[in-house]
């Protein structure tokens, strides 16, 4: 076996089902020979997004893999890897590299040197005999502790080098740790005695598959729960204690309860300050549960830290809180639901609007009330679509929404959705994006058609870069800089995707049902909604 065949064989053992790739990389043929399906994307960052979405949907059981050509291929992949790194998503990136004797010669591009700060671990393989150990370490890095992308750069000679001996490799397990029991008791005491505590749940809940124990703890402690942008769907948003999820926009109850909180219990979150998610207001007592010590006291000074796996932490916290007298805070769930009812009433005119061009909130509300939400995986793109859908899309099951935004690259949602569909073929996988985002990645609709990846794309076409209105005033007035519209229905059909254009909101649900039927037949579909420019966001 040569180097490429060794990697392919190990990926097979680790359960890899497909290889996102483009275009020259010996791993592609090696994987195809042993029935790991190669899917060639139209641009590298979309391929990385596919691996990202696959990993988010499988959550550590199986990990997405992307193979790039050395030099320009891996250079083009940088943006996708940076996005995954910003949210600690495990994925394996395997680029080619130049010859070993030219690794330090300009202008040879070193993936290790340039990606080391946006990967959890990056290394260059210099001896084919070390490949099994390197692959073992790579999967350990992706499955244990705070995760993230791993990059293995393969110089030309290593692909073809013959491995000596039999391949010996064992599938890498997940290792977990639990916090100090004394800290668990101290945290339980603080939360039991708090006047108005709030649970601040992040993507670590999803990574640890800890939704059930989070629900158990919230109910035992009578504490309402908000989720971060990447943590959305970690707590069922139809639960009476759910405050919803936040980007810049958020449900009214989330903003109200977070402002009023005296204690914030952050669990499964890095507590990173970000303009695209909830931040803790000043003056709060903070208990921080995370699986990585670097998160603690990074952006906030915390009173108490619980270092360990989110599921183990919450199991121990639930046992500890049940042994204590909980302060009487009244009917917390009833109060949360009263604010929710008030908030939805305020927004109902937009949610059911008959305006033309179409109000995007009408599109979101019609989708929410038409699809089987529990059997759907939804994601947004960056900009206005993220701010509009995130507060109002009510998730009920874990990993039914892929929230992202610590980095906010236009177009990332397309690859994410394709990866999610490959991981969960029985789910309806939808992404909603604007005309700026489809301009970035629209050609990869052809990838979905060619590969039979049956996703549903919703394009909100308002013909303008609405999110930039406040910063491009003179540029737009003098030169029309924000005008970025297009005709996306015929574009999609030219790329092999069945598509519709909707101008009347009354027609949307009927078209949506037709599009879903197309995805159920095994093909992708696209709906272009001619929408109004909407600068109204749920911000309180």
Query: What is the rounded average pLDDT for all residues in the chain?
Result: 96
What is residue 500's predicted lDDT score, i.e. its pLDDT? 98
Answer whether residue 97 shows pLDDT above 70.
Answer: yes
Superfamily of segment(s) 3-160: Thiamin diphosphate (ThDP)-binding fold, Pyr/PP domains (3.40.50.970)
What DSSP string describes 96-153? EE--GGGTTSTT---HHHHHGGGSSEEEE---GGGHHHHHHHHHHHHHSSS--EEEEE
CA–CA separation, 70 and 97 (whole Å): 5
The 3-state secondary structure of 329-365 reads CCCHHHHHHHHHHHHHHHHHHHHCCCCCCECHHHHHH
Torsion angles phi and psi, residue 162, rounded to 5 = -80, 130
Answer whether residue 535 shows pLDDT above 90.
Answer: no
- Is residue 496 exposed (0-12), middle (13-18) or buried (19+ Cβ within 10 Å)? middle
For 535, residues 6+ apart whose C-beta sits below 8 A from its C-beta are: 466, 469
CA–CA separation, 83 and 408 (whole Å): 7
Q: Which two tokens stand for residue 85?
A: 């790194």
Phi-psi region of 15 (alpha: psi -120 to 50; beta: other; left: phi over 0): left
- Edge-to-edge, what's the strand order for the sheet holding 225-227? 242-245, 225-227, 198-201, 263-267, 285-290, 304-307
Do 293 and 270 contact (CB within 8 A), yes or no?
no
Superfamily of segment(s) 352-530: Thiamin diphosphate (ThDP)-binding fold, Pyr/PP domains (3.40.50.970)
What DSSP string describes 259-273? HH-SEEEEES-----
How does pLDDT run across 438-487, given as a tens digit for each residue? 999 999 999 999 999 999 999 999 988 777 777 888 998 899 888 888 99
* Sequence ranges of the domains in the chain: 3-160, 181-330, 352-530
Q: Which two tokens stand for residue 258?
A: 């977070």
What is residue 528's predicted lDDT score, i.e. its pLDDT? 98
What is residue 438's predicted lDDT score, i.e. its pLDDT? 95
Which residues partner with 401 through β-bridges? Answer: 378
Q: Would 3-160 and 352-530 be classified into the same CATH topology?
A: yes
CA 120 to chain centre: 17
Do 265 and 200 contact (CB within 8 A), yes or no?
yes
CA–CA separation, 49 and 448 (whole Å): 13
Answer whether residue 148 shows pLDDT above 70.
Answer: yes
Q: Which of 298-301's residues contact partners 24+ apart within 8 Å by CB, and which partners?
A: 298/270, 298/271, 298/272, 299/271, 299/272, 299/273, 300/271, 300/273
CA–CA separation, 438 and 444 (whole Å): 9
Answer whether residue 437 shows pLDDT above 90.
Answer: yes
Torsion angles phi and psi, residue 245, rounded to 5 = -125, 155
What is residue 38's predicted lDDT score, i.e. its pLDDT? 98
Whole-number percent of the chain with pLDDT over 90: 90
How does pLDDT run across 365-421, given as a tens digit for each residue? 999 999 999 999 999 999 999 999 999 999 999 999 999 988 888 999 999 999 999
Q: Which CATH number fits domain 181-330: 3.40.50.1220, 3.40.718.10, 1.20.1530.20, 1.10.10.10?
A: 3.40.50.1220
- Is residue 219 exposed (0-12), middle (13-18) or buried (19+ Cβ within 10 Å)? middle
The neighbour count for residue 38, using CB atoms within 10 Å, is 18
DSSP class of residue 373 equals: G
Torsion angles phi and psi, residue 533, rounded to 5 = -75, 120
Question: Cα–Cα–Cα angle for 13, 19, 20, nearest 5°?
Answer: 155
Q: Grade residue 43 by pLDDT with cuts at 50, 70 and 90.
A: very high
Do 246 and 226 contact (CB within 8 A), yes or no?
yes
On the CB side of 120, CA atoms within 13 Å amount to: 24
What is residue 285's predicted lDDT score, i.e. its pLDDT? 98
Q: Grade residue 60 by pLDDT with cuts at 50, 70 and 90.
A: low
Do 424 and 377 contact (CB within 8 A), yes or no?
yes
Mean pLDDT of 325-352: 97
Q: Grade residue 107 by pLDDT with cuts at 50, 70 and 90.
A: confident
The neighbour count for residue 190, using CB atoms within 10 Å, is 17
Whats the size of the chain, residue-wise? 540
Do 56 and 401 contact (CB within 8 A), yes or no?
no
What is residue 445's predicted lDDT score, i.e. its pLDDT? 98
How does pLDDT run across 191-237, given as a tens digit for each residue? 999 999 999 999 999 999 999 999 999 999 999 999 999 999 999 99
């Amino acid at each position: 076996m040569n180097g490429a065949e060794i990697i392919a064989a190990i990926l097979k053992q680790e359960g890899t089902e497909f290889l996102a790739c483009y275009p020259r990389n010996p791993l592609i043929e090696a994987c195809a020979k042993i029935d790991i399906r190669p899917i060639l994307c139209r641009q590298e960052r979309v391929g990385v997004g596919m691996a990202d979405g696959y990993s988010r949907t499988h959550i550590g059981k199986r990990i997405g893999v992307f193979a790039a050509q050395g030099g320009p291929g891996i250079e083009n992949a940088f943006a996708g890897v940076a996005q995954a790194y910003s949210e600690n998503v495990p994925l394996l990136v395997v680029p080619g590299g130049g010859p070993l004797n030219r690794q330090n010669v300009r202008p040879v591009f070193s993936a290790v040197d340039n990606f080391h700060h946006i990967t959890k671990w990056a290394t260059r393989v210099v001896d084919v005999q070390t490949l099994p150990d390197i692959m073992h370490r790579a999967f350990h890095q992706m499955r244990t502790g705070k995760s993230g992308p791993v990059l293995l750069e393969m110089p030309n000679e290593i692909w073809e080098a013959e491995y000596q001996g039999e391949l010996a490799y064992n599938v890498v397990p997940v290792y977990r740790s639990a916090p100090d029991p004394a800290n668990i008791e101290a945290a339980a005491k603080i939360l039991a005695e708090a006047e108005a505590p709030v649970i601040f749940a992040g993507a670590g809940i999803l990574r640890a598959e800890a939704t059930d124990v989070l629900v158990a703890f919230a109910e035992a402690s009578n504490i309402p729960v908000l989720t971060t942008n990447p943590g959305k769907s970690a707590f069922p948003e139809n639960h009476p204690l759910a405050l919803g999820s936040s980007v810049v926009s958020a449900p009214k109850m989330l903003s109200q309860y977070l402002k009023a909180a005296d204690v914030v219990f952050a669990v499964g979150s890095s507590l990173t300050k970000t303009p695209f998610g909830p931040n803790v207001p000043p003056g709060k007592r903070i208990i921080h549960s995370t699986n990585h010590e670097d998160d603690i006291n990074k952006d906030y000074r915390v009173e108490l830290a619980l270092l360990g796996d989110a599921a183990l932490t919450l199991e121990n916290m639930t046992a500890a809180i049940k042994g204590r007298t909980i302060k009487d805070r009244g009917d917390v769930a009833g109060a949360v639901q009263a604010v929710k009812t008030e908030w939805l009433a305020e927004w109902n005119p937009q949610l059911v609007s008959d305006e033309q061009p179409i109000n995007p909130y009408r599109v979101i509300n019609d989708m929410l009330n038409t699809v089987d939400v529990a059997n759907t995986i939804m994601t947004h793109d960056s900009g206005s679509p993220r701010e509009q859908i995130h507060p109002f899309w009510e998730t009920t099951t874990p990993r039914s929404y892929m929230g992202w935004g610590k980095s906010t690259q236009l177009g990332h949602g397309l690859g994410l959705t394709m990866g999610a569909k490959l991981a969960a073929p029985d789910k309806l996988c939808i992404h909603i994006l604007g005309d700026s985002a489809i301009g970035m990645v629209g050609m990869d609709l052809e990838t979905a058609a060619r590969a039979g990846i049956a996703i549903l794309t919703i394009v909100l076409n308002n013909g303008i870069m609405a999110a930039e209105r406040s910063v491009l005033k003179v540029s737009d007035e003098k030169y029309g800089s924000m005008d970025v519209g297009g005709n996306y229905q015929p574009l999609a059909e030219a790329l092999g995707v069945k598509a519709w254009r909707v101008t009347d909101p009354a027609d949307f649900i009927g078209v949506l049902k037709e599009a879903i039927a197309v995805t159920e037949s095994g093909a992708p579909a696209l709906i272009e909604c001619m929408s109004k420019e909407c600068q109204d966001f749920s911000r309180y």
